[in-house]
Amino acid sequence: MKLFLTVLLLGAAVASATSAGTDGEISYEYHRYEELRKALVSVWLQCPTITRIYTIGESFEGRELLVLEMSDNPGTHEAGEPEFKYIANMHGNEAVGRELLIYLAQYLCNQYQQGNETVIELIHNTRIHLMPSMNPDGFEKAASQPGEIKDWFVGRSNAQGVDLNRNFPDLDRIIYVNEREGGANNHLLQNMKKAVDENTKLAPETKAVIHWIMDIPFVLSANLHGGDVVANYPYDETRTGSTHEYSASPDDVMFKSLAKAYSIYNPVMSDPQRPPCRKNDDDSSFKEGITNGGAWYSVPGGMQDFNYLSSNCFEITLELSCDKFPDEDTLKTYWEQNRNSLVNYIEQVHRGVKGFVRDFQGNPISNASISVEGIDHDITTAKDGDYWRLLAPGNYKVAASAPGYLTVIKKVAVPYSPATRVDFELESLMERKEEEREELMDWWKMMSETLNF
Amino acid sequence: MASKYVGLFIFFHIVSLNVMSQTSAFPTPTASTNDKTVYNRQLTEERPIQAQIAEADSVKAAVQSAESKRPTSSKVTESQQDRDGLTLLKSLADGQKTQVKTEVSAKGVQYVPDESDSTKSRRLVEDYDSTKNGMDNDDPETFRQVDGTPLTAEDIVQKIANKIYEEDDRGVFDRIVSKLLKLGLITDSQADTLEYQVAEALQDLIAKNAKNNEIEGAESNDRETKEQQDDQGSDTNTDTWEQPRSRYSNKEGDEADDDVEEEADKDAEVQGGNAGDEGNEVSPEDGLQDLQYFPNFYLLLRSLDSDQDTQERETLITIMKTLIDFVKMMVKYGTITPEEGVSYLENLDAMIAMQTKSKLGKSLGLPDFTAPTGKNLDEDDNTKAEAAKMQREYENLKDSTKEEQQSPETRQPGKSQTYLEAIRKNIEWLKKHNKEEGKDDYDLSKLKDFMDQQVDSYIEKGIIAKDEGDTIKRIYSSL
């Protein structure tokens, strides 16, 4: 027993020299597929009441596209609770994001158990989905490269050679036409399920993510990349087709705010003196660590714009490292640079206006439209009639409408945060007709009594 | 659960038999003269595309009408409007001429030349001269009943089941369904429904035929004729089947195989028991004589001795006996050697043990269990000891060095270590959390159940490997 204790103390001494601070429980190394899976399972085992692991499908080579969900009620959408997601590693050789999400999962679980108020608050009021790798096949290819320096291209695309960030249906084209000629300004992918399932050009990973986006009413999202350091926001594809052109979306103001909310806590990203990653890089479009997608370079078929144009979800793209697949011993540094940004960005989901749209009987109206005067992009209510409309601070007129109902407009003053609660009760056209009829009857009755007929 | 278990049995049985049998051992009734042309077509390798589509149509229509009772139009016309049921059946009837035994010919094209199929069936029929007259009626291949009325979906399911039964080839079903799926005529869920219905029909067939071994004339068909049974169809089918079956029992009688007779007796009794009051009249001694060679099965039966398990028990007995009969017959006909038969049955018993353990979550309590189980017990002890050791250490030290002492180990984790660590943290947190909130001690057994459930669902979805899941469950059970 004594020897045992001695060994323990020695071990403790050794360990304390190598571990650091509150993040002592996270080990900063690259996770291959099996290790990734086990790391997520460990987080789940440690925090089973606030986490759940699920898979949205399989990669081309059959690896599960794993998601770790964190919420006070994992597995269900609570009415009024916004949904958030992080997706990383869609380019298999851009490895930092993948690792960061694993560390984030461990971190949130640890912090929750250690009583961190911010984290507890966040987990209780948000449903957070973390997908460390959208392209596990690509990652394996990139990670298996021999030697120190990983190639700039190997492992980028999926196992079929498809660049997943060019593989999404190009809805930018459609919105640009609609801007000129009139047409819908949201939810542009018609006949969703059929179009997706029958589209042979979509990679299985892309299809799985599209289904995921359709199933869960995501409000805010970010997609993690590597190869540069900046927070990039819509639109990614230029209007005229030129290679560099600022392409503002209707929510340009809000997107800038969201991107800044990330970059501001990342000392490298927000450093105005930061030299470009490579000597000849053109980062003239980067301002305060953020950039418009089209202004940087045009990207058609990307996931970021697809989110915004096919669903209610606002997504930005985060480039987190000059090196796509840096050395393992730099991972800890990357974590420290990004930890606060990652948490703060999740908190951004609690901004703008949110609430419920119901009818006069109190029944929720799903798929009602919420439009904001001056912003040519509407969002819709989810199954419980709940909606979340991200807005920068200001005064707005918000309208709720649904087919067969009378539109209601409300004036709202929106602060930076938290979100302002605005509920709508919509009167159906039938009800209004009924009311008018009754009024008419009352008037007739009164008249006939007075005039005695 | 019972039906699932039974279904599993059936499936396993069919698959195994499929593996073991080389040729079909059961006679096929000859075609009526009407169908001579059909038979001739069968011999040619080429089937017109129309026929293929039409046949697939009819099956698809049958499936859909079975599901929703609303017939849909054929794909050929490329429209999906509701059609009058009668019109549909008429089209089925029309299609009959062109609806070759595409199943057989498909089978022929893909696996065995057409010639051998048809001649094979003919040869067997000729063996039974006395019955040639009786074997004229229902041809399982056509889509029309004896009297010319078109078939309902249930009939088609019945026919498929018959075909599988007589050919001893589950592949028949797979071929049809994969063809339909490929043509996009049915969805996956419809295919599942069809499979389920065919499995049920097959189950009925097997049980009925076990019964028919003994019963000659009138039979009180106690078993619930489920929706698959069309009156006429079933009569025709059972007529067809009664004869071959009784022939078998005659043949066996020649060999003075008393066991079979006894079993058949017991079958009848068991069947009667199914219907109602007689209950568990099966006396272990004689009827289950054969089953003494199946210790695991026997134990399984033993474990099902409560009242509500009566039906299950009897179904299992019936199925087992039928299986034994099949094997005996195959040995008799030289399809398999006696040694193969014996080893098949032995494997079956071992399989029962395994499946029981995994599906029902309990062991049959046999001392001579297969090796893996023994190993499990050992590991269980080790994990238990280790967990206990860790608990003790923790209580001794009770300071933060505990965690750091873990990390060098977790750096090279055996996965059970990492998981153990994670679970320990959770338990710690629960203890602390509940203490803070002034609640009573967290409910460990409820947590354990919840985790077991989650682990199972994760294993199913491919998120956790089976052995990892077992590790986790063991850790929880050792707490």
Beta bridge partners of A218: A83
pLDDT bracket for residue B59 (50, 70, 90): low
Last residue of one domain, picked from the residues A350, A374, A394:
A350
The answer to whether residue A14 is domain-embedded is no
Cis amide prior to A418 (ω within 30 degrees): yes
Q: Which one of A8, A38, A53 has the shortest CB-CB distance to B458? A: A53
pLDDT band at B180 (very low <50, low <70, confident <90, very high): confident
On average, the pLDDT of chain B sits at 60
The DSSP bridge partners found for residue A228 are: A321
Nearest chain A residue to B418 by CA: give it. A42
Where is the domain boundary, A303, A327, A350?
A350
**A27 contacts on B by Cβ (under 8 Å):** 407, 410-411
Nearest CB to A42: which of B422, B454, B461? B422
The CA distance from A236 to the nearest CA of chain B, in Å, is 34
Tell me whether residues B405 and A27 touch, CB distance under 8 A: no
Res B350: pLDDT:
76
Residues of A in contact with B418 (CB under 8 A): 38, 42
DSSP annotation of A364 reads B
Q: Regarding predicted confidence, which is higher, B186 or A353?
A: A353
Which residues in chain B touch residue A53, judged by CB atoms under 8 angstroms apart?
Answer: 458, 463
Task: CATH number of the domain at A220, please.
Answer: 3.40.630.10
Q: What is the model's pLDDT at position A38? A: 95
Q: Which residue has the higher pLDDT, A218 or B368?
A: A218
Is A48 in Cβ contact with B450 (below 8 Å)? yes
Rounded distance, CA B396 to CA B377, Å? 29
Residue A422 belongs to some domain of the structure: yes
Q: Are residues A326 and A394 in the same domain?
A: no
Contact across the interface for B407 and A47, Cβ inside 8 Å: no
pLDDT at B368 > cutoff 70: no
Residue bearing the bigger pLDDT, B60 or A147: A147
Which domain range does residue A385 map to?
A: 353-432
Across B88-97, average pLDDT: 46
The 3-state DSSP class for residue A258 equals helix
The residue type at B112? V
Residues A139 and A268 in one domain: yes
Residues A315 and A372 grouped into a single domain: no
Is A273 a domain residue? yes
The answer as to whether A324 is a domain residue is: yes
Q: What is the 3-state secondary structure (H, E, C) of A389-438?
A: ECCCCEEEEEEEECCCECCEEEEEEECCCCCEECCEEECEHHHHHHHHHH
- CB distance B418–A42 less than 8 Å? yes
Give how far A361 is from chain B: nearest CA, Å: 35
Residues of A near B (Cβ–Cβ under 8 Å) read 5, 8-9, 11-12, 14-16, 18-19, 24-25, 27, 37-38, 41-48, 53-55, 64, 66, 113
Task: Tell which of A327, A350, A373 closes a domain.
Answer: A350
Written as tens digits, the pLDDT of chain A (453 aa) is 555 544 444 444 444 333 333 455 788 999 999 999 999 999 999 999 999 999 999 999 999 999 999 999 999 999 999 999 999 999 999 999 999 999 999 999 999 999 999 999 999 999 999 999 999 999 999 999 887 777 788 999 999 999 999 999 999 999 999 999 999 999 998 776 788 888 999 999 999 999 999 999 999 999 999 999 999 999 999 999 999 999 999 999 999 999 999 999 999 999 999 999 999 999 899 999 999 999 999 999 999 999 999 999 999 999 999 999 999 999 999 999 999 999 999 999 999 999 999 999 999 999 999 999 999 999 999 999 999 999 999 999 999 999 999 999 999 999 999 999 999 999 999 988 899 999 999 988 888 888 765
> Is the same domain home to A339 and A405?
no
Interface touch B463/A8, C-beta < 8 Å: no
**How does residue B372 score in pLDDT terms, banded at 50, 70 and 90?**
very low
Catalytic annotation, pick one of A83, A99, A319, A347:
A319
CATH number for the domain that contains residue A357: 2.60.40.1120
Q: How many CB pairs under 8 A join A and B?
A: 78
Q: What is the pLDDT of residue B342?
A: 78
Cβ of A41 within 8 Å of Cβ of B468? The answer is yes
In the predicted model, what is the mean pLDDT of chain A? 92
Is residue A21 domain-resident?
no
**Residue from B395, B425, B451, B473 whose CB has the most chain A CBs within 10 Å, to mutate:** B425
Give me the pLDDT at residue B2, please. Answer: 55
CA distance B63 to chain A (A): 23
pLDDT at B79: 40
Nearest CA in chain B to A106: B422
- 3-state secondary structure string across chain B: CHHHHHHHHHHHHHHHHHHHCCCCCCCCCCCCHHHHHHHHHHHCCCCCHHHHHHHHHHHHHHHHHHHHCCCECCHHHCCCCECCHHHHHHHHHHHHHHCCCHHHHHHHHHCCCHHHHHHHHHHHHHHCHHHCCHHHCCCCCCCECCCCCECCHHHHHHHHHHHHHHHCCCHHHHHHHHHHHHCCCCCHHHHHHHHHHHHHHHHHHHHHHHHHCCCCCCCCCCCCCCCCCCHHHHHHHHHHHHHHHHHHHHHHHHCCCHHHHHHHHHHHHHHHHHHCCCCCCCCCCCHHHHHHHCHHHHHHHHHCCCHHHHHHHHHHHHHHHHHHHHHHHHHHCCCCCHHHHHHHHHHHHHHHHHHHHHHHCCCCCCCCCCHHHHHHHHHHHHHHHHHHHHHHHHHHHCCCHHHHHHHHHHHCCCHHHHHHHHHHHHHHHHHHHHHHCCCCCCCHHHHHHHHHHHHHHHHHHCCCCHHHHHHHHHHHHCC
A319 labelled catalytic:
yes
Q: pLDDT-derived band of residue B150, with 50, 70 and 90 as boundaries?
A: low
Kindly determine whether residue A41 and residue B405, on different chains, have CB atoms separated by under 8 Å: no
Nearest CA of chain B to the CA of A14: how many Å?
A: 8
Query: Same structural domain for residues A277 and A371?
Result: no
Residue A2 forms part of a structural domain? no
Question: Does B470 touch chain A if contact means CB atoms closer than 8 Å?
Answer: no
CB contact under 8 A, A42 and B421: yes
Pair A50, A199 in one domain: yes
Smallest CA–CA separation between A183 and chain B, in Å? 32
Cβ of B398 under 8 Å from any chain A Cβ?
no
Same-domain status, A133 and A281? yes
pLDDT tens digits, residue range B387-444?
455 555 444 444 444 444 444 434 434 667 789 999 999 999 988 887 776 665 567 7
B451 in contact with chain A, both atoms CB, cutoff 8 A: yes
The answer to whether B462 contacts A42, with C-beta atoms less than 8 Å apart, is no
pLDDT at B274: 40
Contact B342, B294 (CB under 8 A): no
CB-CB neighbours of A98 under 10 Å: 25
Nearest CA in chain B to A109: B426
Q: Are residues A357 and A344 in the same domain?
A: no
Q: What is the pLDDT of residue B444?
A: 79
Chain segment B259-309, per-residue pLDDT in tens? 444 444 444 444 433 433 333 444 444 455 566 667 777 777 777 767 667
Of B229, B85, B93, residue with least CA distance to B148: B93
Residue A109 lies in a domain: yes
- A236 to each of A171, A292, A302, how far by Cα in Å? 11, 7, 7
A69 and A104 inside one domain: yes
On whether both A397 and A345 belong to a single domain, the answer is: no
Q: Do B418 and A38 touch (CB under 8 A)?
A: yes
pLDDT at B332 over 70: yes
Q: Which residues of A touch B429 (CB under 8 A)?
A: 46, 113
Chain A touched by B429 (CB under 8 Å):
yes
Distance CA B22, CA B16 (A): 12
In 3D space, the residue among B418, B445, B450, B444 whose CA is nearest the CA of residue B431 turns out to be B444
A43 to chain B: nearest residue by CA?
Answer: B422
How many domains, chain A?
Answer: 2
What integer is the mean pLDDT of B326-353?
A: 76
The residue in chain A having the minimum alpha-carbon distance to the alpha carbon of residue B473 is A45
Residue B358 has pLDDT above 80, yes or no: no
d(CA B252, CA B244): 12
| Residues A71 and A174 both lie in one domain | yes
List chain A residues with CB under 8 Å of B447: 48
* Residues A172-190 as b or e (16 or more Cβ within 10 Å = b): bbbbbebeeeeeebbbbbe
Query: Residue B440: its pLDDT value, please?
Result: 58
A26 inside domain:
no
Q: Give the pLDDT confidence score for residue B159 in this predicted structure.
A: 78
Torsions phi, psi for A206 (to 5 deg) = -65, -45
Q: Between chains, do B404 and A15 touch, taking CB under 8 Å as contact?
A: yes
Helix, coil or strand: residue A57:
strand
- For A355-401, what is each residue's pLDDT tens digit? 999 999 999 999 999 999 999 999 999 999 999 999 999 999 999 99
Asked casually if ipTM beats, i.e. exceeds, 0.90, the reply is no
Residue B463 and residue A43 in contact, taking contact as beta carbons nearer than 8 Å: no
Residues A333 and A427 in one domain: no
